[in-house]
Amino acid sequence: MDNLVIVLWATSLAVLLLSTLIISQSWKTRRGSERTQRLPAGTRGWPLVGETLHFVSCAYSPCPERFMDKRRLMYGKVFRSHLFGSPTIVSTDAEVSRCVLQSDARAFVPWYPKSLTELMGKSSILLINGSLQRRVHGLIGAFFKSSDLKSQITRDMQCYVQESMINWKDEQLIHIQDETKNIVFQILVKGLIGLEPGKEMQFLKQQFKEFIAGLMSLPVKLPGSRLYRSLQAKKRMVMLIKSIIEEKRRAKSSKNNNNTCLRPPRDVVDVLIDDPSDQLTDDLISDNMIDLMIPAEDSVPVLVTLAVKYLSECPLALQHLVEENMQLKKRREGHLQWSDYMSSSFTQDVITETLRMGNIISGIMRKAVKDMEIKGHFIPKGWCVFTYFRSVHLDDNHYEEAYKFNPWRWKDKDMSSCSFTPFGGGQRLCPGLDLARLEASIFLHHLVTNFTFGHVDVNVIVGFGWVPLDCHVLFEIWGGSDRSPHQYILCHSDYSSWKSTFSSLFSALAVSWKPQLDEAQFGEEIKHGGLDAHHSNIAALLRDHKASCDIS
Ligand code: HEM
């Protein structure tokens, strides 16, 4: 009898457990399928890699819009996909993207590929959230807006640009993006940590090059791997920056002890160590000085390079720009202030139009921390949202003849609309936007008031987030200080950046590639304008590869 009771008990317990399991499982499945039904239309692509290869190969093709355009047509402006290892909702809708950018960390947090987060570290301004992000962003933003810093940058930039242009020799190959990069890096490092050009600056430059090479690498930290070498380079930079911070703290406390008047901050480190909160440790400050270089280092050089390309294709705009800058030069007899550059309206419109068409940062990724619904589009917790600015900036519904370079469209046009977001928006709006405009205006002023340029041959590749886009620009310019007909060939892309761009592209696609040119041949190809043929071969290789793995 006892045994029977036990058996009955055990059986009813088992039945109870089983039915609970079945009910919860079916509830989960129903909930899962309800959630799937609520998702925007779209497809996941291949297992694991999703649609990443397709997106990347389109970006490197002559028709980078194909990926987005095709899906917008099939699914609408907001669709689901699987990119860079994460299920993703792609937004090419200006208002949806604005809502995402305006949301705070209770809804969305920044998302970057693993190699990038490894390199940036947890305390990076690009990754932190909440009050600490607002504090660091506010301090840096206010300093970047200060007229003292803008005056310092104007003085330095004018000096470096002139020094650089004086050295441009007849028939010499000039790498325009690299020239600007060199100048902008020195300005940036001085603005961040107060370092002047010299041995330490050179050291930082070398280490930063090594560091940034790992931004889009495999997330493997084994000795010898790309990521490991980049992390080692970061360590070396942090050591140097920490010693500068310690020096500044020592100088500050000895001034405090002697009751000497404290001078206003001259660089970002000064601003951050003056902050009374104990959250801003030396580790956080030194890490962030390097992380600040990531968005700043290549974006302005690319902006300048693209502006030159668009201007050379639009002679009327170039003529207007020359006239405005020549007048400014005469009026100020060469002694220009930062406000002169920033109030040159046509120059600013040229920069604005370049930002719209060039899409230096093509989009931003965020991760949803809870289920969200925006304008009727469901975004599940844990999914990424890719706010893709490029499609909005090149949409005919927002910009008439969107693919036409037309700086005049900005005359009296409101720039604060949600269909123009080259610098992002919301709490993470780029704090360096004024600096970027100022630096680009100064470079363009000196270029167009000293040189005349002609034919341009360009090959632009779309960038992803902070990974710089690549554009090789070959063009001839005539002029020089005496405006006599010298000939120059300018090309941004040196051999190592050309090689590393294509190597990382092919390794991202898991295809082995060996450059068919060595450094000397590359130089010769550029001199004789033959690089295009080589790039066509690469484009053909990519097309073949894409065709072999294209499923949609
Ligand atoms: C043409 C040049 C530039 C473009 C197109 C650009 C674009 C952007 C964009 C789109 C964001 C938003 C990122 C997000 O929402 O997650 C951003 C953030 C940022 N930018 Fe820029 N940027 C440029 C130049 C600069 C410069 C020169 C600096 C520094 C001197 C700078 C420093 C930063 C920083 C620190 C952030 C992160 C802000 C935060 O998350 O709180 N940028 N930038």
| pLDDT at residue number 484 | 32
344 within some domain: yes
* Dist. CA 371–CA 379, nearest whole Å: 6
| pLDDT at residue number 384 | 96
**128-151 mean pLDDT:** 95
CA of 113 to the centre of ligand 1 (A): 17
Residue nearest to atom 21 of ligand 1 (CA): 430
Weakest mean pLDDT among 303-307, 365-369, 430-434: 303-307
Is 436's C-beta closer than 6 angstroms to any atom of ligand 1?
Answer: yes
161 φ/ψ angles, rounded to the nearest 5 degrees: -65, -45
Is 307's C-beta closer than 6 angstroms to any atom of ligand 1?
Answer: no
From the number of C-beta atoms within 10 Å of its C-beta (0-12, 13-18, 19+), residue 377 rates as buried
Is 161's C-beta closer than 6 angstroms to any atom of ligand 1?
Answer: no
From the CA of 366, give the closest atom in ligand 1.
Answer: 16
- C-alpha distance from residue 315 to each of 108, 110, 308, 312, 475 (Å): 44, 41, 11, 6, 14
CA of 209 to the centre of ligand 1 (A): 19
30 within some domain: no
Is 435's C-beta closer than 6 angstroms to any atom of ligand 1?
Answer: yes
Bridge partners (DSSP) listed for residue 459: 472
CA of 461 to the centre of ligand 1 (A): 20
Give the mutation target among 140, 187, 430, 467 for probing the ligand 1 site: most ligand atoms within 8 A of CB. 430
Residue, of 490 and 514, whose pLDDT is higher: 514
Is 137's C-beta closer than 6 angstroms to any atom of ligand 1?
Answer: yes
36 within some domain: no
Residue, of 393 and 256, whose pLDDT is higher: 393
**28-39 mean pLDDT:** 69
**193-222 mean pLDDT:** 90
CA of 425 to the centre of ligand 1 (A): 10
* pLDDT tens-digit readout, 45-104: 998 889 988 988 887 777 788 899 999 999 999 999 999 889 999 999 999 999 999 999
**What CATH number is given to the structural domain containing 343?**
1.10.630.10
CA of 77 to the centre of ligand 1 (A): 25
Residue nearest to atom 38 of ligand 1 (CA): 428
42 within some domain: no
Residue type for position 438:
L
From the CA of 437, give the closest atom in ligand 1.
Answer: 1
- For the chain, the domain total comes to 1
Residue, of 14 and 522, whose pLDDT is higher: 14
78 within some domain: no
Contact 462, 59 (CB under 8 A): yes
H or E element, residue 79 = strand 78-83
Is 425's C-beta closer than 6 angstroms to any atom of ligand 1?
Answer: no
- What token pair was written down for 314? 């639009």
Residue nearest to atom 36 of ligand 1 (CA): 430
From the CA of 191, give the closest atom in ligand 1.
Answer: 30
| Residue 203 belongs to domain spanning | 130-493
| pLDDT at residue number 467 | 42
Is 314's C-beta closer than 6 angstroms to any atom of ligand 1?
Answer: no
Q: What's the mean pLDDT when you consider all of the chain?
A: 82
- Tell me the pLDDT band of 546, cut-offs 50, 70 and 90: very low
- Tell me the pLDDT band of 453, cut-offs 50, 70 and 90: low
Is 110's C-beta closer than 6 angstroms to any atom of ligand 1?
Answer: yes
CA of 321 to the centre of ligand 1 (A): 26
| pLDDT at residue number 57 | 83
**446-451 mean pLDDT:** 85
| pLDDT at residue number 106 | 94
Is 535's C-beta closer than 6 angstroms to any atom of ligand 1?
Answer: no
| pLDDT at residue number 71 | 96
**6-24 mean pLDDT:** 71
369 within some domain: yes
430 is in an annotated binding site: yes
| pLDDT at residue number 29 | 60
Cα pseudo-dihedral 302, 493, 215, 542, rounded to 10: 110
With helix as H, strand as E and coil as C, how does 260-324 read? CCCCCCCCHHHHHHHCCCCCCCHHHHHHHHHHHHHHHHCHHHHHHHHHHHHHHHCHHHHHHHHHH
Contact 180, 436 (CB under 8 A): no
319 within some domain: yes
329 within some domain: yes
| pLDDT at residue number 16 | 72
35: nearest Cα among 374, 373, 367, 369: 373
Is 428's C-beta closer than 6 angstroms to any atom of ligand 1?
Answer: yes
- C-alpha distance from residue 479 to each of 444, 485, 527, 529 (Å): 15, 6, 19, 21
| pLDDT at residue number 434 | 95
- Tell me the pLDDT band of 135, cut-offs 50, 70 and 90: very high
